């Protein structure tokens, strides 16, 4: 019996290390951990800066509303498969739930162009040197974090996620409409990703 358990554990670790998107490689909001060594639930996510048409901004400038942060690349098949989920997110919640995508694409603007072509209105951040990836201890992609309005990590998914998972995680931290703030410069923050969605 112990041998079977060890064999199953080895298979699970190999799948996770390969960046596969099977259920073995996925982690959800569980008390045991986030699946990212440097990220803890209920702690404020690491801040970072990014360029927009209006000048440099920070992740912390978006606090006051839930934030979805997605680590991906346009060459990553599971990442491309979940683009429709993020298009639905933006159409459903608009500026009430900003989407920040962090791409390791080496060509500047490639990720933003891909998202715009697929109708995803997002703040597209290029991270070819993987500095933000390192701050979040992200290795396989895709990885998605949902932050509460205070900036605390409330949900993490390592691997491809679906709309049911994303909607549930966002709904869990979405404040009542009367208390939701849109933050400063919300119109200019989205301009980095191209055409706004309907």
Render 14-70 in DSSP notation, one character per residue.
HHHHTT--SGGG---SBTTB-SSTT--TTSBPPP-EEEETTEEEEGGGGTTS-EEEE
The Cα–Cα gap between 198 and 186 comes to 16
Instruction: Give 51-73 pLDDT, tens digit per residue.
Output: 888 899 999 999 999 999 999 99
Query: What's the whole-number average pLDDT of the chain?
Result: 81
The first and second tokens of residue 57, run together, are 């901004």
Letter string b/e over residues 114-153, b meaning 16 or more CB atoms within 10 A of that residue's CB: bbbeebbbbbbbbbeeeebbebbebbbbbbbbbbbbebbb
Q: Is the pLDDT score of 190 beyond 60?
A: no
Domain residue spans of the chain:
26-193
State pTM to two decimals: 0.75
Q: Is the pLDDT score of 42 beyond 60?
A: yes
Q: What average pLDDT does this structure show over 128-155? A: 97
- Give residue 192's pLDDT band: very low, low, confident or very high (50, 70, 90): very low
The Cα–Cα gap between 160 and 179 comes to 31
- Homologous superfamily in CATH for domain 26-193: Glutaredoxin (3.40.30.10)
The Cα–Cα gap between 173 and 175 comes to 6
């Amino acid at each position: 019996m112990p041998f079977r358990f060890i064999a199953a554990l080895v298979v699970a670790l190999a799948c996770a290390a390969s960046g596969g998107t099977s259920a073995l490689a996925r982690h959800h909001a569980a008390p045991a951990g986030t699946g990212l060594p440097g990220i803890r639930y209920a702690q404020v996510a690491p801040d970072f800066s990014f360029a927009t048409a209006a000048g440099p901004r920070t992740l912390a400038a978006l606090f006051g509303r839930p934030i979805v942060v997605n680590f991906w690349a346009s060459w990553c098949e599971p990442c491309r498969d979940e683009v429709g989920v993020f298009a639905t997110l933006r159409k459903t919640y608009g500026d009430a739930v900003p989407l920040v995508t962090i791409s390791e694409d080496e060509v500047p603007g490639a990720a933003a162009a891909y998202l715009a072509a697929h109708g995803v209105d997002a703040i597209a951040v290029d991270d070819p040197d993987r500095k933000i990836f390192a701050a979040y201890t992200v290795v396989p992609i895709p990885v998605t974090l949902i932050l509460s309005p205070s900036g605390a990590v409330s949900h993490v998914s390592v691997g491809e996620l679906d709309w049911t998972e994303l909607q549930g995680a966002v709904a869990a931290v979405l404040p009542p409409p009367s208390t939701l703030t849109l933050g400063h410069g919300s119109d200019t923050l989205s301009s980095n990703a191209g055409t706004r969605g309907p």
